[in-house]
Structure formats: C-alpha cells, structure tokens
C-alpha cells in the first residue's frame, strides 16, 4: 500500500490537466471545483459520450467554464459512441441535459474545431512529462488517444481514472460501474496499455468503493451557500416537492443546488437516501493533488464477453494471474476532508464570481 498524504495547507503544487468528461452532475462539480483552484491549469476539456451525448456534454462544459471564469479553456469533442457497442445514456441519473434541474446559460464560446483525440495527443507531445489526464467518463476518447500515440503513458505526468468497482457492488449492473459498463472495450484497452509499466506510471483509479464514500448531503449545499455569501439559507430538503428550484442570489450556488436536488432525488429512488455520490469530484481532487489517499497496485481485468458481467472490473492484488500490475487502485480516502475542501473551494469561487441577479432564476415550485 502506498500513501499520498493530504498536502500541507497553503501549499499546492501546480498541476496542468487534460480533462475528459461526460458532464454529468458530478462531472460538473468536478469541473467547477477545478476552476476554483488557482494552482490548476486546464489545458483542454474534452467531451465523451456517456451520461449524455457528446454534443450536450460540450454545451454543458462550455457553459460551466464560462460561468466559473475560465472561458478560454478549449472544449473539444472526440468520439460520438463507444468503441464497439451502441451508446446508452442515463437521463434518469443526471437529467435530460446531464445537469439535473439546472438550466445553464447558453454558452458564448464554440466547440474547438479539432478532434479531441488529436488535441490530446498534440498537447501531450508538446509538453512531455507535464500534463496529467483526468478521466471521469467512459474511456473511449482515451483509448483512441492511446491508439494514436502509444507513448502516452510515458508522455503524461500522470493519469487519474474514475471507473470500476473492486469487490464492491456495481451501480449499473450488480457488478459493473457506469463508466466501464458504457465502454468496456475502451476500458480494457486502456488498462492493457499500462501493463508492465513502473508503479509511478500506472493510472490512479478511483472506483465505487471509495467514490461512494463521497456522499454529498443537503447540509453541504447549505454550507456552500453560506460560504458563497448567500443571505438566505439554501434548503434542499427531502420533504420538499421534487423539482423545486433554487432562488439563491448567487448564480453558481443556484445552479449547483438545482443539479444536486435532482441527484439527491435519483439516489433516494434507488434506496440510497437523500444523498448524492459525487464520484468525479473526488477523482478531480486526486488529480489536483488536494486529496490524501492510499493506493494498492493491482492487475485490472475488464470483462467484455460474459453477457451478465459486461463492464465488470476485477482486480488481482496478489499477482495470482501472474500478470504485471496495470493500475493503482485508491484504497483509502477522507470524506470529511473532501467536503470541507469542496465547500471552501466552491463557496469561495461563488463569492468571487459575485451575486449576479436572481431575476432570471425560475420561480420556486
Ligand atoms: C460515474 O458514472 C457517471 O454517471 C458519473 O458521472 C461518474 O463518472 C460513476 O459511476
Ligand atoms: Ca462522469
């Protein structure tokens, strides 16, 4: 087991990220969080088909980056579908547009003219050893990038993946996690590409057994609003009517609250309580170097054939298959620290962006 302690308060080592996401409520929180971090350079944000179609992901990303003060970050689309199977999206989890009840402003910016995979490869070649990949979506784009440039594992400074579940139940089938289930062939190719590399080159994998511990609750939304300087309490409560909309004076808080209400309702529908697992925020904090974690090296297998087990991930921690490790799986994380960090960071960002008029906010239902 390897420990990566939480960084000392006040010091954050600069990080340059290539982000691939399928925004997605928790992807949106991840992006907003990264925008709040002065030590994080967002080199490019690419859009993967997953929670919603790639075009909708792009609209969400453009709008969020503008809202969060990073309009200059290039947003590009790569694949439109998984490598070998049709795309399945999940409007019941993230809403028809991927962002719950939020209605983000129409973005001013446009999707980059170049293909996301080309952009990634070009960026990695131009800055060898500098860029960290953060992957919070099905791994389609990253698998294509690895096909185009097999030296990517060596060219990148690091790779952080949200995906899989190891000896822990799935969230899509009894054994499979959503990202690996949507494109199992891509996930299998990605893990194969890292086989046999030195430990510090292996992707850090944030899987359900640790990401589901990052369980957001109504009190976190309330705390976020206080931190952002909202005068009225931001109440997202289980006994309120479903679909009620926020009237928070702070635009960022308003949108985040509208996203999370949808996500809370979704989790309640699946007997998980009025909470939300914000998987991708956790992965983003790992990539940003702001989360303390422990990892274990393993050989990961992604099932692509057995019908009931498609997308299931299995980890060999003890070398029983006799194959080289291809991943570092996060084995410990710190939910309380994660939420203290999120509330401080997003609240601070909301405060800095200021209270824009609530005039255009939809009426409370
Ligand atoms: C993953 O699936 C998606 O719905 C989320 O955005 C996250 O990346 C969790 O299984
Ligand atoms: Ca995601």
Confidence of residue 363 (pLDDT cuts 50, 70, 90): very low
- Centre of ligand 2 from the C-alpha of residue 235, in Å: 26
Question: Does pLDDT of 334 surpass 50?
Answer: yes
Ligand having the closest approach to the CA of 162? 1
**Per-residue pLDDT reduced to its tens digit, 190-247:** 999 999 999 999 999 999 999 999 999 999 999 999 999 999 999 999 999 999 999 9
Question: Does pLDDT of 32 surpass 90?
Answer: yes
- Centre of ligand 1 from the C-alpha of residue 89, in Å: 11
With tokens 């990303």, the residue in question is 61
For the segment 305-331, the average pLDDT, to the nearest whole number, is 98
Q: Are 25 and 98 in contact (CB under 8 A)?
A: yes
**Per-residue pLDDT reduced to its tens digit, 46-69:** 999 999 999 999 999 999 999 999
Cα(324)–Cα(197) distance, rounded to whole angstroms?
A: 8
Ion ligand 2: protein residues whose beta carbon lies under 5 Å: 22, 24, 27, 136-137, 280
**Per-residue pLDDT reduced to its tens digit, 299-314:** 999 999 999 999 999 9
Question: Does pLDDT of 21 surpass 50?
Answer: yes
Q: Which numbered atom of ligand 1 lies nearest the CA of 280?
A: 8
Ramachandran angles phi, psi of 214, nearest 5°: -90, 80
> Domain ranges in the chain?
2-353
For the segment 100-122, the average pLDDT, to the nearest whole number, is 98
- Centre of ligand 1 from the C-alpha of residue 25, in Å: 9
- Centre of ligand 2 from the C-alpha of residue 219, in Å: 23
Task: State residue 7's pLDDT score.
Answer: 77
Query: Residue 192 pairs with which residues in a beta bridge?
Result: none
- Centre of ligand 1 from the C-alpha of residue 172, in Å: 10
Cα(275)–Cα(212) distance, rounded to whole angstroms?
A: 10
Confidence of residue 4 (pLDDT cuts 50, 70, 90): confident
To the question of pTM greater than 0.85 for the whole model, the response is: yes
Ramachandran angles phi, psi of 314, nearest 5°: -125, 140
2-353 CATH: 3.90.245.10
Give the mutation target among 280, 281, 312 for probing the ligand 1 site: most ligand atoms within 8 A of CB. Answer: 280
| Atom 2 of ligand 1, residue of closest alpha carbon | 178
**Per-residue pLDDT reduced to its tens digit, 248-259:** 999 999 999 999
Question: Does pLDDT of 360 surpass 50?
Answer: no
Q: DSSP of 87-126, one letter per residue?
A: ----HHHH-TTSSTT--PPPPSS---SS-HHHHHHHHHHH
Q: Which numbered atom of ligand 1 lies nearest the CA of 27?
A: 6
Q: Which numbered atom of ligand 1 lies nearest the CA of 277?
A: 9
Confidence of residue 356 (pLDDT cuts 50, 70, 90): low
Confidence of residue 1 (pLDDT cuts 50, 70, 90): confident
State how far the alpha carbon of 317 is from the alpha carbons of 124, 179, 297, 357, in Å.
30, 22, 7, 53
Half-sphere exposure of 207 (CA within 13 A, CB side): 31
For the segment 131-137, the average pLDDT, to the nearest whole number, is 98
**Per-residue pLDDT reduced to its tens digit, 145-154:** 999 999 999 9
| Atom 8 of ligand 1, residue of closest alpha carbon | 136
Q: Which of 238-247, 276-285, 352-361 has the lowest mean pLDDT?
A: 352-361
- Centre of ligand 2 from the C-alpha of residue 112, in Å: 21
Q: Enumerate residues lining ligand 1, CB below 6 A.
A: 24, 26-27, 51, 90, 93, 136, 162, 171, 177-179, 279-280
Q: Are 293 and 286 in contact (CB under 8 A)?
A: yes
Q: Which numbered atom of ligand 1 lies nearest the CA of 136?
A: 8
Among 102, 112, 12, CA closest to 58: 112
- Centre of ligand 2 from the C-alpha of residue 210, in Å: 15
Ramachandran angles phi, psi of 343, nearest 5°: -65, -45
């Amino acid at each position: 087991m390897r420990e990566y302690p939480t960084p000392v308060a006040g010091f954050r080592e600069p990080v340059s990220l290539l982000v691939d996401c399928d925004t997605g409520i928790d992807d949106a929180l991840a992006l907003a969080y990264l925008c709040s971090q002065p030590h994080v350079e967002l080199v490019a944000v690419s859009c993967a088909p997953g929670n919603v179609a790639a075009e909708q992901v792009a609209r969400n990303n453009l709008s969020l980056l503008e809202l969060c003060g990073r309009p200059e970050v290039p947003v590009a689309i790569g694949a439109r579908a998984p490598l070998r199977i049709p795309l399945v999206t999940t409007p019941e989890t993230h809403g028809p547009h991927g962002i719950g009840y939020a209605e983000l402003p129409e973005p001013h910016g446009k999707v980059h003219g170049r293909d996301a995979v080309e952009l990634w490869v070009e960026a990695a070649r131009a800055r060898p050893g500098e860029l960290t990949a953060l992957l919070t979506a099905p791994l389609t784009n990253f698998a294509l990038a690895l096909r185009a440039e097999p030296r990517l594992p060596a060219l990148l400074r690091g790779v952080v993946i949200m995906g899989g579940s190891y000896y822990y139940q799935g969230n899509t089938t009894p054994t499979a996690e959503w990202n690996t289930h949507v494109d199992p062939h891509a996930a299998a190719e990605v893990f194969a590409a890292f086989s046999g590399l030195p430990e510090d080159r292996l992707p850090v994998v944030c899987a359900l057994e640790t990401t589901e511990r990052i369980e957001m609750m109504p009190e976190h939304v309330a705390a976020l609003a206080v931190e952002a300087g909202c005068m009225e309490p931001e109440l997202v409560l289980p006994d309120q009517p479903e679909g009620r909309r926020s009237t928070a004076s702070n635009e960022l808080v308003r949108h985040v609250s509208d996203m999370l209400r949808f996500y809370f309702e979704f989790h309640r529908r699946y007997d998980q309580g009025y909470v939300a697992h914000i998987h991708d925020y956790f992965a983003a904090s790992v990539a940003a170097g702001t989360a303390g974690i422990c990892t274990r090296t393993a050989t990961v297998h992604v099932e692509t054939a057995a019908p009931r087990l498609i997308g299931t991930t299995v980890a060999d921690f003890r070398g029983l298959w006799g194959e080289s490790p291809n991943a570092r799986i996060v084995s410990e994380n710190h939910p309380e620290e994660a939420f203290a960090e999120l509330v401080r960071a997003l609240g601070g960002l909301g405060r800095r962006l200021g209270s824009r008029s609530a005039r255009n906010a939809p009426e409370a239902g």
